[in-house]
């Protein structure tokens, strides 16, 4: 079985709770808060004993947490990796201890795929493509050049790398689009605002579109755009990713044009994967969550039904 068997010989057996060490990225966005709540709700039944650790967006904290889970001989480790690379050593340590690892939300780059048992999360490349397709549709009949600024997620993280890639795949096929500035806003509102202020300063009124890798950065940027005396959603068309309630409110107010859903509510599916790996049952290599695309005209109807 990939990822090894169970670390604790009594844990996870009939009637014994499964001890899970979960290392979360941080609390950088509305998406993350919803994800933490979903994971905690699913792993707080008597069936599980959850050890939760917050890495505060730092890989070194996360590696420390994983080592502590290994030392405590948890049954299963689950974690959402802050960045994509640099996991080889600690994952080998988990494997040597016989503790299976489940990746949640973000993927890792490793040379040996047997270092983790399975992955649950989104197709970030496809999310980037969806943002690009929305933009192409929204720009029908417009003459070029269409100047785009991009607020990237955390440097080196899978969603930042993949969303950049998917977005470019689509817009590079249309000569009207030009990405004039692209910088990280670290997935936070405060950073999104700060970087957008810098974009506005250097580009003046020459920005037609903002693509933000998450809604929180878009919401921060909206504030910067308003403070610069421009109308977000009109003077600058805006598309972002996640589909959090704040984005629906911004769309309802006409300040955001579209959000590409990234579903954080996979706690129950994660719990099932953990049960399966703890019992040594075969699991799929990759489990993808379902998601859609929402535009401003759908916001008022969709908002009351949003779960995060
Ligand atoms: O990894 C998922 C991303 O991380 C979400 O899009 C973002 O909001 C979060 O911080």
pLDDT digit string (tens) for 212-221?
Answer: 999 999 999 9
Q: Please give the Cα distance from 54 to 202 (Å, whole number).
A: 36
Instruction: State the average pLDDT over residues 229-246.
Output: 98
- Confidence class for position 3, pLDDT limits 50, 70, 90: very low
Residue among 124, 179, 176, 128 at smallest CA distance from 149: 179
Q: Please give the Cα distance from 293 to 26 (Å, whole number).
A: 25
pLDDT of 32 higher than 80: yes
pLDDT reported for residue 31:
98
pLDDT reported for residue 15:
78
pLDDT reported for residue 11:
54
What average pLDDT does the structure give for the chain? 95
Q: Looking at the predicted complex, does its ipTM rise above 0.90? A: yes
Pocket-testing residue among 151, 186, 187, ligand 1, by greatest number of atoms within 8 A of Cβ: 187
Pocket-testing residue among 24, 25, 162, 243, ligand 1, by greatest number of atoms within 8 A of Cβ: 25
Q: Please give the Cα distance from 169 to 225 (Å, whole number).
A: 27
Pocket-testing residue among 262, 263, 288, ligand 1, by greatest number of atoms within 8 A of Cβ: 262
Instruction: State the average pLDDT over residues 210-236.
Output: 98
Report the atom number in ligand 1 closest to the C-alpha of 30: 8
Report the atom number in ligand 1 closest to the C-alpha of 242: 6
Cβ(105) to ligand 1 under 6 A?
Answer: yes
- Confidence class for position 97, pLDDT limits 50, 70, 90: very high
Instruction: State the average pLDDT over residues 234-259.
Output: 98
pLDDT in tens, 160-202: 999 999 999 999 999 999 999 999 999 999 999 999 999 999 9
Instruction: State the average pLDDT over residues 200-209.
Output: 96
Check if the beta carbon of residue 147 is closer than 8 Å to that of residue 182. Answer: no
pLDDT reported for residue 6:
45
Cβ(150) to ligand 1 under 6 A?
Answer: no
Q: Which helix (H) or strand (E) holds 127?
A: helix 124-138
Instruction: State the average pLDDT over residues 32-54.
Output: 97
pLDDT reported for residue 14:
66
Instruction: State the average pLDDT over residues 128-132.
Output: 98
Instruction: State the average pLDDT over residues 65-85.
Output: 98
Cβ(241) to ligand 1 under 6 A?
Answer: yes
Instruction: State the average pLDDT over residues 112-131.
Output: 97
Two structure tokens written together for 161: 């790398």
Cβ(127) to ligand 1 under 6 A?
Answer: no
Q: What per-residue string of b and e applies to 214-233 under the rule 16 or more CB within 10 Å gives b?
A: bbbbbbbbbbbbeebeeebb
Q: What per-residue string of b and e applies to 153-170 under the rule 16 or more CB within 10 Å gives b?
A: bbeebbbbbbbbebbbeb
Nearest alpha carbon, ligand 1 atom 4: 32
Cβ(228) to ligand 1 under 6 A?
Answer: no
pLDDT reported for residue 78:
98
Query: Ligand 1 centre and the CA of 35: distance in Å?
Result: 9
């Amino acid at each position: 079985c990939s990822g090894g068997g169970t670390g604790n010989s009594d844990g996870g057996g009939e009637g014994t709770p499964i001890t899970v060490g979960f290392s979360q990225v941080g609390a950088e966005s509305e998406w993350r808060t919803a994800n933490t709540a979903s994971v905690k709700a699913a792993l707080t039944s008597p069936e599980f004993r959850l050890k939760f650790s917050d890495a505060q967006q730092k890989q070194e904290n996360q590696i420390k947490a994983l080592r502590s889970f290994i030392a405590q001989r948890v049954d299963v480790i689950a974690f959402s990796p802050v960045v994509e690379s640099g996991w080889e050593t600690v994952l080998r340590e988990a494997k040597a201890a016989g503790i299976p690892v489940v990746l949640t939300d973000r993927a890792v780059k490793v040379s040996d795929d047997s270092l983790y048992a399975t992955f649950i999360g989104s197709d970030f490349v496809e999310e980037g493509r969806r943002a690009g397709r929305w933009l192409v549709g929204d720009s029908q009949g417009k003459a070029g050049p269409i100047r785009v600024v991009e607020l990237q997620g955390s440097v080196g993280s899978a969603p930042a790398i993949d969303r950049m890639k998917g977005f470019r795949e689509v817009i590079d096929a249309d000569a009207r689009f030009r990405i004039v500035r692209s910088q990280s806003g670290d997935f936070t509102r405060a950073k999104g605002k700060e970087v957008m202020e810098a974009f506005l300063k250097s580009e003046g009124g020459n920005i037609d579109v903002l693509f933000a890798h998450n809604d929180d950065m878009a919401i921060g940027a909206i504030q910067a755009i308003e403070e610069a005396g421009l109308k977000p959603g009109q003077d600058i068309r805006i598309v972002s990713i996640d589909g959090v309630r704040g984005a629906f409110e911004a769309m309802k107010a006409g300040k955001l044009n579209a959000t590409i859903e990234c579903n954080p509510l996979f706690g129950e599916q994660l719990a099932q994967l953990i049960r399966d790996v703890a019992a040594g049952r075969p699991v799929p290599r990759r489990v993808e969550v379902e998601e859609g695309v929402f535009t401003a005209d759908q916001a008022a109807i969709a908002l009351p039904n949003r779960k995060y």
